[in-house]
Amino acid sequence: MSEAIVVTEAVRVPGSALTLRAVRASGPGGQNVNKVATKVDLRVDLAAIEGLSDSARARLEALARRRLDAEGRLVVTSQASRNQARNVEDAREKVWQLVAAALVRPRARIPTRVSASAEQRRLDVKRRRAALKRARTRPGGDD
């Protein structure tokens, strides 16, 4: 069982919601890469995260949509380092950042009106463009 990830005083990912697996990493590492399992596969049960409001939970699910496995758990991998312990910390940091991002409520968009002068400029440009195209037509022709 892993240690809990504390995001804020109210929000935490309990250790029981985390499943850690070490696998062989790809990429550089010489002969070591064939022997040592340094890549970390961290799975998080999203339903077990404590202290999330319904809206924050919905935002978290939207952020994690592409990273879910068949059971609906968030899958975070790290192979940034050739050291397994550092990769575990990196994966835990990624989970922390994702949950922290879900806690941020997006600002509501306040609709604004286009100013009268901007609308007038748009219409003037349209008129000039139409006149230019009209001038290109063959004189006396129907089309």
Q: What is the pLDDT of residues 43-59, one digit of tens each?
A: 988 888 888 888 998 99
7-66: pLDDT as tens digits: 888 888 888 888 888 888 776 666 666 777 888 888 988 888 888 888 998 998 898 889
| CATH label of the domain that carries residue 99 | 3.30.160.20
Q: Tell whether 76 is covered by a domain.
A: yes
Residue 110, phi then psi, degrees to nearest 5: -100, 115
SS3 127: helix
> Could you give the number of structural domains in the chain?
1
CA angle 44, 70, 34 (to 5 degrees): 75
What residues does 41 pair with on adjacent strands? 21, 77
H or E element at residue 119: helix 116-136
Q: Tell whether 52 is covered by a domain.
A: yes
**pLDDT score recorded for residue 117:** 97
Q: Tell whether 125 is covered by a domain.
A: no
Cα(105)–Cα(55) distance, integer angstroms = 8
Q: Tell whether 42 is covered by a domain.
A: yes
**Cα torsion for 5, 11, 16, 17, to the nearest 10°?**
-90
Q: Tell whether 61 is covered by a domain.
A: yes
Q: Tell whether 70 is covered by a domain.
A: yes
Q: Tell whether 73 is covered by a domain.
A: yes
Tokens encoding 51: 């202290």
Amino acid at 95: V
Contacts of 121 (CB under 8 A, 6+ apart): none
79-134: pLDDT as tens digits: 888 888 899 999 999 999 999 999 899 999 999 999 999 999 999 999 999 999 99
Q: Tell whether 68 is covered by a domain.
A: yes
- The boundaries of the domain holding residue 41 are 5-103
